[in-house]
């Protein structure tokens, strides 16, 4: 059964992510939203639907397969952590601080925030944040949950981490070499935390802090964008 789950996890990792990517970022779905937004890239509706498709392909479909094969979601990290890592609090704080400086770079401004609206409002901030968290829940369940624990059960700790980080880096290739290589140390850390705690929760929270703080800093440090907290009368 362990080898079956590993084969299935590799199949989802090798096929579900590319399928999600091409369906959401290209093809008919992207064309529909680009037409609605007169061809503009980074429309809110497109990005939000794209992230929800990520939850479906990367999280919900693998979870359904596990349940259909009489597996346990808890065995693949979907449970409360078995230990408390208080040292993650200063790590999360350092991610927020470092994100401020990274958000000022030209390369970051060109890519983030993904939603390219010049005027943001509280509603858009909230919807974007929630869609990020939904996406990352599916993302972390596939990588630090199903794939990691399935490979750990068959291969052991470090081969499982090496395999996981290789696929994780490949999933970042479309974002360029900086994020591709940066995914390797981040992947090692998130894998180790997940295996030690027996849960994807810490990886999900750290990834969430990284994504949301980067989005908010990117908005605040982009001179072409601003947040309008109150509607003008």
pLDDT of residue 39: 44
CA distance 198 to 196: 6
Tell whether 214 is covered by a domain: yes
**How much is the pLDDT for 172?**
87
98: in domain:
yes
Collect all residues with Cβ–Cβ distance below 8 Å to 139 and sequence separation of at least 6: 54, 58, 59, 207
Residue 69 lies in a domain: yes
Evaluate whether residue 128 is within a structural domain.
yes
Task: State residue 31's pLDDT score.
Answer: 56
Q: Which domain holds residue 196?
A: 1-227
pLDDT of residue 17: 78
In a domain, 233, yes or no: no
Residue 232 lies in a domain: no
Looking at the 3D structure of the chain, how many domains does it have? 1
**What is the residue-level pLDDT of the chain in tens, covering all 233 positions?**
788 888 888 888 778 778 887 777 665 565 565 555 544 556 888 889 889 999 999 999 999 999 999 999 999 999 999 888 899 999 999 999 999 999 999 989 989 999 999 999 999 999 999 999 999 999 999 999 999 999 999 999 999 999 999 999 988 888 888 889 989 999 999 999 999 999 999 999 999 999 999 999 999 999 999 999 886 55
**Residue 223 domain flag:** yes
Specify the pLDDT at position 21: 77
pTM (two decimals): 0.90
Tell me the three-class secondary structure of 198-218, residue by residue: CCCHHHHHHHHHHHHHHHHHH
Specify the pLDDT at position 28. 57
Phi then psi dihedrals of residue 223, to 5 deg: -65, -15
- Is there a domain that residue 83 lies in? yes
């Amino acid at each position: 059964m362990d080898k079956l789950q590993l084969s299935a996890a590799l199949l989802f990792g090798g096929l579900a992510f590319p399928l999600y990517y091409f369906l959401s970022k290209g093809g008919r779905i992207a064309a529909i939203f680009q037409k609605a937004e007169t061809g503009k890239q980074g429309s809110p509706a497109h990005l939000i639907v794209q992230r929800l498709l990520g939850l479906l392909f990367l999280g919900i479909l693998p979870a359904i397969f596990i349940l259909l094969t009489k597996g346990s979601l808890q065995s693949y990290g979907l449970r409360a952590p078995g230990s408390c890592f208080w040292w993650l609090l200063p790590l999360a704080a350092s991610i927020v601080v470092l994100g401020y400086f990274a958000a000022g770079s030209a390369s970051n401004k060109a890519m983030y925030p993904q939603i390219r609206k010049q005027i943001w409002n509280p509603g858009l901030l909230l919807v974007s944040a929630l869609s990020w968290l939904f996406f990352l829940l599916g993302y972390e369940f596939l990588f630090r949950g199903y794939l990691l624990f399935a490979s750990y059960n068959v291969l052991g700790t470090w081969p499982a981490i090496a395999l996981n980080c290789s696929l994780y880096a490949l999933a970042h290739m479309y974002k360029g070499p900086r994020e591709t290589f940066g995914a390797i140390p981040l992947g090692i850390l998130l894998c180790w935390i997940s295996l030690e705690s027996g849960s994807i929760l810490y990886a999900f929270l750290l990834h969430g802090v990284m994504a949301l703080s980067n989005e908010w800093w990117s908005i605040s440090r982009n001179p072409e964008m601003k947040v309008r907290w109150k509607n003008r009368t």
